Amino acid sequence: MRILVTNDDGICAHGIVRLAEAAKKLGEVTVIAPEHECSAMSHHITLRRNMIMKRHDFPVEGVKAFCLDGTPADCIRASFLGLLKEEEKPDIVFAGINNGANCGFDILYSATVGAAMEAVLYHIPAICFSQKSDGPEEVLEQYIDRIAAELIKKRLPANQVYNVNFPACTLQEFKGILYDRTPAQKAFFDDNYKPVKREDGSFEVVLEAGPVYDAEEGSDIKAVLDGYISIGILENKILSA
């Protein structure tokens, strides 16, 4: 099993190291990830400049790693369209572990999800992994290996990807794993844009964000807020199953 790992927090983020460790237990791992953070870039790709790719001294033994000064979608797209030889192309893509939940409306902005959706364009399965920020990562540490091993065996239709979100709680507070969670009909943060007038008469637009505390039953946000691991399925409507 060949596994390609990428993320949107940048190749030096601790989440991608943990994901590569989990992936290494399941197959041969290659990391191709952005050189810099690319959060909230969705499915953005680079078209008007050349990108630079470099070998990266990755802290997981036996994992070959490269950083690309592009986006997560670039990392996957370039891998399939020239960077990797046919015999090097992956059987599955792991994206993450994202620093922050990718639930509800935030799924649309997520470059972690964007990388996974790029993979399915080449009929390659993908799994997104995210961790709710600002809290313990005990549940992730305990369950990431188990969930990766479980989902890698469960093939979805060619236009779908798994979306896994871990709660930020202790193992004592952890409630369990919920499957078939649907995207909440809201974002994880209650965003507000505030215009602040500048001396020259222009306005600086300031994003102010506050957390949400609840969501509808059966949703991904509700599961994570209540202390569950949320596992759902995202579908690329452009592709037919």
End-to-end Cα spacing for the chain: 23
- How many structural domains are present in the chain? 1
Would residue 196 count as lying in a domain? no
Residue 240 belongs to a domain: no
Residue 202 in any domain: the answer is no
Strand residues in 52-111 grouped as ranges (E): 53-55, 64-68, 92-99
Q: Which of 231, 111, 229, 233 shows the shortest CA–CA distance to 168?
A: 229
Residue 108 lies in a domain: yes
Residue among 224, 43, 240 at smallest CA distance from 232: 224
Residue 79 within any structural domain of the chain = yes
Per-position DSSP letters for 2-30, written without gaps between them: EEEEE-SS-TT-HHHHHHHHHHHTTSEEE
pLDDT tens for each residue of the chain, 241 residues long: 999 999 999 999 999 999 999 999 999 999 999 999 999 999 999 999 999 999 999 999 999 999 999 999 999 999 999 999 999 999 999 999 999 999 999 999 999 999 999 999 999 999 999 999 989 999 999 999 999 999 999 989 989 999 999 999 999 999 999 999 999 999 989 899 999 999 999 999 999 988 898 999 999 999 999 999 999 999 988 876 5
Q: For residue 7, tell me if it sits in a domain.
A: yes
Let me know if residue 42 belongs to a domain.
yes
Range of the domain at 88: 2-187+214-235
Q: What is the CATH number of the domain that holds 22?
A: 3.40.1210.10
CA atoms within 13 A on the CB side of 131: 28
Q: Which residue has the tokens 């990755």?
A: 58
Q: Is residue 85 part of a domain?
A: yes
Among candidates 151, 162, 114, which has minimal Cα distance to 1?
A: 151
